[in-house]
Amino acid sequence: MNKYPDSPQRKGHELKEPGESLELDLPIDPGFLSVPPRLDPQAMLQRIAETLAWRSTRPGETERRAGEKIDVEFIL
């Protein structure tokens, strides 16, 4: 079991009262265009179910997936 380090103690960070807004500094991309998916979700799930067994048996698939893993532990 991993032991997580203690959180750094920061001064001036108190809990906000209910109803108070928090100031978040989020990036803004004026060129971002959010579009809904054009495929039926159930059709996509059916396709994934059909190809999952085949995809996992391809040569080099285990190594490819291992290479895509994140090697840093983090907490959500």
Which ranges in the chain belong to alpha helices (H)? 41-56, 61-67
Q: What is the rounded radius of gyration, in angstroms, for the C-alpha atoms of the chain?
A: 22
Tokens of 13: 């960070």
* Core vs surface per residue 34-47: b (16+ CB within 10 A) or e: eeeeeeeeeeeeee
Q: Tell me the per-residue pLDDT of 10-45, one tens digit each, with 9 for 90 and over.
A: 665 666 666 666 777 888 889 989 888 788 989 999
- Report the predicted TM-score, pTM, of the whole model to 2 decimal places: 0.35
Tokens of 66: 């291992």
Q: Tell me the per-residue pLDDT of 38-63, one tens digit each, with 9 for 90 and over.
A: 889 899 999 999 988 888 888 998 89
Residue 33 to residue 37: CA distance in whole angstroms: 12
